[in-house]
Structure 1
Amino acid sequence: MSRPQDPQWTFLPFGNPFRMILKGSNLSPKQLDLLNTFEETLAGRLRKLKPADREDVLSLSWMRNSMESLCETHADIKILITALELPVRDWDDKWIDVYLGNTMKLLDICIAFSSEISRLKQGHLFLHCALHDLNSSSSKQFMDARSSLDGWKQRIGSKNPRLDECFSVMDSLAKTLDIPKIKNSPKGKVLMRAMYGVKVLTLFVCSTFAAAFSGSAKKLMDLQVPEICLWAEAFTDLQIFVNTEIRNAYSKGAFTVLKELEAVDAGVKKLYPIVQEGVKGSAEAEALKNIVSDLEKSDEKLNEGLNLLAKEVDGFFKVILTGRDALLCNFRFVGNVSDEVRTIVNVRGQAVR
């Protein structure tokens, strides 16, 4: 993690994990081709994720696209395992332990993000009521609208305790960015290197989401990857661009870096004084009408964006869950798995059901 007042932290304390990954590993042309294809595909996704304009950091559409890319990359791991012809019975116990532990943490992160999206959508309900009141002819329209706006401000300004849990989970996940030592398994080395790329992308996406939802850049991660990875340049370029924009926005006192939420908040700030003091003339009545109209559009855009993002987060949750289920199911038919791994499977498998 990196804080403005602290030295920058990176998550490669063990040095270059790929210094010797290919030397003496006896990778076949097919295995090299599979690895290169995976990494080139990841590089392409990273390049597409770099926003064309600074204003797109962080829009809900960008967040949705980044979550979609994350789902696709996790799905690519399943394809790679099949192409490598690496059956579950050949998995090393340590790989299994790392996989089950990491995926459990990802499920926790998904739950935290879904909780935050739901909290923001509850704010939409308050604002919807306020705008409905202002469009009515009731003598209490301003009083009712003010009450609803207060509810919106309280809901949006509150803190989500699940995010604090999410930060600790991300910290622990970042500490697993090393690659287990693999002996006499070229296929395993290809898989571990691919999984490293998935973990880096996952941490980057989760880090930006956490910064957007928490209203702070303190938990942004700055990940460094070895140049030997074919996607390293694209990732570094993307990370610097996005993290710099987020930090700049918060350093200027921004309430949020979520563009759609920022637009709604700006509209509420224009509306609230009028609701407090009431309309005193035709000019103010016209101004109120325009503000309400603009705010309705901004609020609808925010709500629609949150709905679509919620679907992507839910989709990512299902990708992780189905991957775990497939692995656990395969273990039921494997006879040479150690008792220790069976215990891990049983305990962790039950925990997410």
Structure 2
Amino acid sequence: MSRPQDPPRPFISFGNPFRMILPKGSNLSPKLLNLLNSFENALAGRLKKLKPSVREDVLNLSWMRSAMESLCGIHTDIKTLITALELPVSDWDEKWLDVYLDNSVKLLDICNAFSSEISRLNQGHLYLQCALHNLGSASPKQFVRARSSLDGWRQHTSSKNPRLDNCFSIMDSLAQTLDLPKIKNSAKGKVLMGAMFGVKVVTLFVCSIFAAALSGSTKKLMDLHVPETCLWAEAFADVQTFVNTEIRIIYSSQRVTVVKELEAVDMGVKKLYSIVQDEVDVTVDPIEAELLQKSTSDLEMSARNYAQGLDLLAKEVDSFFQIVLTGRDALLSNLRIGGNISNPIKSNNIEGQTVR
């Protein structure tokens, strides 16, 4: 499963979004400024909580679940902001609608790619269960079967998921459109676009981490530069530097994966495989029997933690999918009622929403 280290990607820089959204000389009312500041401060708070307390937590499935929970919260926050702005969908500029609809359909496709990979990894757990079941007996025949199951696990986890490749191209297209449309005559629109910028950047950051973790490569690990005018810029730079640096260190050390639970299982499989490969008669060698029992017990525990972590992560990815989907559906429904919609962007992959 080892892969060569990918060269670091340069910072993805883009123009100051607030220079376009809030041009020089423009002022927001105290109410609108308070709404935007409250949203940005909340975003900064979520980012601070997202930074792991210790490097060992980058990346484990628990942290990945927390990252997805944060995304769910951030996307819920923007819905709350839109409601507070009292900006009817019928008043949305066509450019805003294009941004929202295009981004949402891309996020749905990214979720489908992640869900597909999590499901594939979960299926590999069956090989571990078979191996552990066969090791319940010390007969040579069962050793052969256990070895075959462990071989199946190794082949399964080292294979590639083509759906992730499509995910990479989608992320690249999102990164190329981080600059938001210029807002001329709508103060509420400026607040909306400013908040959407924050949502888009943080979403792309988390998705790039997931892509690196699930693909086994830092090729798509992004470094995004946020203008200092954003109240959440410092918190974002802090967590991005911390997490991305640690991921690159892990891969440069030739470790098989940044996902800690998967790494624990992989190490357990290697230890157990060396025992069953030698076909030692544990019925007459108490030392080997004790080693087999301990290795089997260790793998059983790490496999259980891995499977539970994947299940919880799958549920969070599904929750994020549903939040994006319901927000998109609500917008399209309002547009239809207002008679202001034609040929909405559609995902080619909505049917792939099932996580498990």
What is the TM-score when the length of structure 1 is the normalising length?
A: 0.94
Q: Is 1:8 aligned with 2:6?
A: no
Classify the secondary structure of the residue corresponding to 1:225.
coil
User: 2:248 maps to what in 1?
Assistant: 247
Pair 1:20–1:216, CA change in 2 (3 A) = closer
Classify the secondary structure of the residue corresponding to 1:153.
helix
Aligned partners of 1:220 and 1:60: how far apart in 2? 18
CA contact (8 A) 1:97 1:344 kept: no
After TM superposition, give the deviation of residue 97 of structure 1 in Å.
Answer: 1.0
User: 1:30 maps to what in 2?
Assistant: 31
CA contact (8 A) 2:112 2:349 kept: no
Aligned partners of 1:125 and 1:352: how far apart in 2? 28
Letter aligned with residue 348 of structure 1 = K
Once the two structures are superposed, the pairs formed by residues 30-49 of structure 1 within 5 Å of their partners are 30-49=31-50
User: 1:348 maps to what in 2?
Assistant: 346
Classify the secondary structure of the residue corresponding to 2:122.
helix
Measured against aligned partners, the alpha-carbon deviations of 1:212-247 in whole angstroms (never above 9, x if no partner) come to: 011111210000000010100000000000000000
Aligned partners of 1:68 and 1:134: how far apart in 2? 38
Aligned partners of 1:9 and 1:238: how far apart in 2? 15
Q: Is 1:202 aligned with 2:206?
A: no
Aligned partners of 2:83 and 2:125: how far apart in 1? 44
Aligned partners of 1:64 and 1:294: how far apart in 2? 24
User: 1:306 maps to what in 2?
Assistant: 310
User: 1:227 maps to what in 2?
Assistant: 228
Aligned partners of 2:18 and 2:139: how far apart in 1? 69
Aligned partners of 1:25 and 1:312: how far apart in 2? 40
Aligned partners of 2:118 and 2:33: how far apart in 1? 41
CA contact (8 A) 2:21 2:181 kept: no
Aligned partners of 1:159 and 1:150: how far apart in 2? 16
Please provide the CA RMSD for this pair: 1.6
Pair 1:6–1:235, CA change in 2 (3 A) = closer
Classify the secondary structure of the residue corresponding to 2:39.
helix
Measured against aligned partners, the alpha-carbon deviations of 1:18-48 in whole angstroms (never above 9, x if no partner) come to: 1364443331111001001000000000000
Letter aligned with residue 186 of structure 1 = A
Classify the secondary structure of the residue corresponding to 1:227.
coil
Q: Is 1:19 aligned with 2:23?
A: no
Q: Is 1:318 aligned with 2:319?
A: no
Aligned partners of 1:61 and 1:308: how far apart in 2? 8
CA contact (8 A) 1:40 1:231 kept: yes
Aligned partners of 2:242 and 2:43: how far apart in 1? 18
Percentage identity across aligned positions?
A: 68
Classify the secondary structure of the residue corresponding to 2:19.
coil
Classify the secondary structure of the residue corresponding to 1:256.
coil
Q: 2:297 aligns with which of 280, 290, 293?
A: 293
Once the two structures are superposed, the pairs formed by residues 143-222 of structure 1 within 5 Å of their partners are 143-222=144-223
For structure 1, list consecutive stretches of 5 or more residues without a partner in the other structure: none
Letter aligned with residue 65 of structure 1 = S
For structure 2, list consecutive stretches of 5 or more residues without a partner in the other structure: 352-356
Q: Is 1:257 aligned with 2:258?
A: yes
Aligned partners of 2:337 and 2:208: how far apart in 1? 37
Measured against aligned partners, the alpha-carbon deviations of 1:326-352 in whole angstroms (never above 9, x if no partner) come to: 0011011114x3xxxx2332x527974
Aligned partners of 2:7 and 2:305: how far apart in 1? 36
CA contact (8 A) 1:328 1:349 kept: no
Aligned partners of 1:125 and 1:7: how far apart in 2? 36
After TM superposition, give the deviation of residue 57 of structure 1 in Å.
Answer: 0.2
Once the two structures are superposed, the pairs formed by residues 323-338 of structure 1 within 5 Å of their partners are 323-335=327-339, 337=340
CA contact (8 A) 1:11 1:175 kept: no
Aligned partners of 1:349 and 1:289: how far apart in 2? 50
After TM superposition, give the deviation of residue 9 of structure 1 in Å.
Answer: 3.8
Aligned partners of 1:295 and 1:195: how far apart in 2? 44
Letter aligned with residue 108 of structure 2 = L
